[in-house]
């Protein structure tokens, strides 16, 4: 990182009341007493992976069985679906054991979370798409892992598969027998295990992330959770989007269950939003930094979004990213300024929210532009309005070509 970028990273951390070296894994100092488990060993999550499934996938990859497994798993979609025939016996046994909610899951809260997602989908689309999605490109470990793994070579397909996870998580029936999230989470867990086996063989990845031997640790997944759930909750509060205490609790519970399903140990999962904010302050903001891989991924994602609607300018997208993240991150990513769009967004977006929440009687100026942005982002993650169920999550068998 050059001196200007390093100063920008440190300035952002100072502005948020944080300290740490951007890009480096901070020392773990979060108490497990604030977790859903209520206690723990104090283990550092950056040195915790997913041992059982990692061993399974390593064996499947080394023996060339993954293509047949991917074929078999195509028919496994709904939470209540039986495991397909043709899976290796040890993999079937593993999936049978993990394809269920944790004992502490509250189905009432999960149903309320699904309803909350439906009621607030407008803001969630914008925050997940132009907030969390672009923030992921300034999380060095995540950007490098995405870029140098197989998915980094085709960001349109990678974005569609990422949305499959979010779509299934937010669906009204996500955790019901007719929903798909449990299956989607377990397929994603298999993908993570494959990437953990494959990426350490990439010289490019090792050069980009020299301080981590194996990608996608529990710590990395927690960082991703905070760039999604914790960040979105914080922005909804900042935007004064009406939410009941029960809504907020349910939204957190949905994410607690989601990251448990991805193999995060319960002693690392925050039990309240206050605990999540405290953990995020330790593990997310201090590591934000620009990277070559991240800059390219951000340009790919923003370019895909702009291409999907000719009336949605890159200038508007660039300025919305700056609005929801910061000018510092916009500068890291080299996003050119569009001051007319910046003025429209800063004045119009709060009014847009107020109108949608019934607090303004007349649609504000720029209403159509914001609706365009929402449609474009939805189209990006739906892969040109293709159903997520037709964009299957598949286990990779190699890294990015050339990696």
pLDDT tens for 334-384 read: 999 999 999 999 999 999 999 989 888 888 777 888 887 777 776 655 554
Q: How far apart are CA 278 and CA 208, in angstroms?
A: 28
CB 40 within 8 A of CB 28: no
Specify the pLDDT at position 156: 66
Tell me the C-alpha distance between 325 and 213, whole Å: 29
State yes or no: pLDDT of 27 exceeds 50. Answer: yes
21 pLDDT band, cuts 50/70/90, is very low
**How would you label 51-63 residue by residue, b for 16+ Cβ within 10 Å and e otherwise?**
eebbebbeebbee
C-beta atoms surrounding 43 within 10 Å: 14
DSSP secondary structure code for residue 148 in this structure: H
Q: Where are the alpha helices (DSSP H) in 120-268?
A: 121-126, 133-135, 140-148, 155-170, 181-198, 203-208, 218-225, 231-238, 245-261
Is the separation of the CB atoms in 181 and 79 below 8 Å? yes
What pLDDT, on the 0 to 100 scale, is given for residue 182?
96
Q: What is the mean pLDDT of residues 10-38?
A: 62
Length of the chain: 403
Residue 93 contacts by C-beta under 8 Å, 6 or more apart in sequence? none
pTM for the model: 0.90
pLDDT tens by residue, 95-141: 999 999 999 999 999 999 999 999 998 899 889 988 999 999 999 99
Tens-digit pLDDT profile for residues 301-345 = 888 766 655 456 889 889 999 999 999 999 999 999 999 999 999
Average pLDDT, the chain: 87
């Amino acid at each position: 990182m050059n001196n200007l970028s390093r100063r920008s990273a440190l300035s952002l951390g100072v502005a948020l009341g944080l300290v740490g070296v951007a890009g480096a894994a901070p020392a773990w100092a979060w108490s497990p007493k604030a977790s859903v488990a209520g206690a723990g060993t104090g283990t550092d999550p950056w040195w915790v992976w997913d041992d059982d499934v990692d061993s399974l996938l390593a064996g499947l990859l080394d023996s060339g069985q993954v293509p047949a497994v991917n074929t078999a798993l195509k028919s496994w979609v709904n939470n209540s679906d039986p495991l397909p025939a043709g899976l290796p016996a040890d993999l079937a046994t593993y999936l049978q054991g993990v394809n269920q909610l944790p004992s502490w899951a509250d189905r009432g809260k999960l149903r309320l979370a699904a309803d909350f997602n439906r009621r607030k989908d407008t803001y969630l689309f914008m925050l997940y798409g132009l907030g969390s999605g672009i923030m992921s490109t300034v999380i060095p470990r995540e950007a490098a892992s995405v870029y140098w793994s197989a998915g980094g070579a085709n960001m349109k397909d990678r974005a569609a598969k990422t949305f499959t996870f979010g779509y299934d998580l937010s669906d009204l029936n996500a955790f019901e027998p007719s929903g798909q999230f449990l299956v989607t989470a377990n397929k994603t867990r298999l993908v993570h295990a494959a990437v953990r086996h494959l990426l350490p063989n990439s010289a490019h990845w090792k050069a980009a992330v020299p301080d981590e031997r194996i990608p996608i640790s529990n710590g990395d997944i927690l960082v991703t959770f905070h760039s999604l759930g914790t960040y979105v909750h914080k922005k909804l509060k900042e935007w004064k989007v009406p939410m009941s205490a029960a809504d907020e609790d349910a939204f957190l519970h949905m994410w607690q269950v989601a990251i448990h399903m991805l193999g995060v140990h319960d002693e690392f999962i925050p039990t309240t939003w206050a605990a999540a904010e405290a953990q995020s302050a330790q593990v997310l903001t201090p590591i934000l930094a620009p990277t070559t891989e991240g800059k390219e991924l951000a340009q790919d994602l923003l370019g895909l979004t702009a291409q999907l609607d000719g009336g949605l300018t890159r200038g508007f997208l660039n300025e919305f990213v700056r609005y929801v993240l910061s000018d510092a991150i916009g500068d890291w990513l080299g996003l050119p300024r569009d001051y007319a769009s910046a003025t429209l967004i800063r004045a119009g977006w709060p009014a847009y929210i107020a109108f949608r929440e019934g607090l303004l009687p007349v649609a504000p100026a720029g209403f159509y532009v914001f609706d365009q942005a929402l449609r474009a982002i939805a189209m990006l993650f739906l892969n040109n309005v293709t159903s997520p169920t037709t964009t299957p999550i598949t286990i990779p068998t190699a890294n990015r070509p050339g990696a």
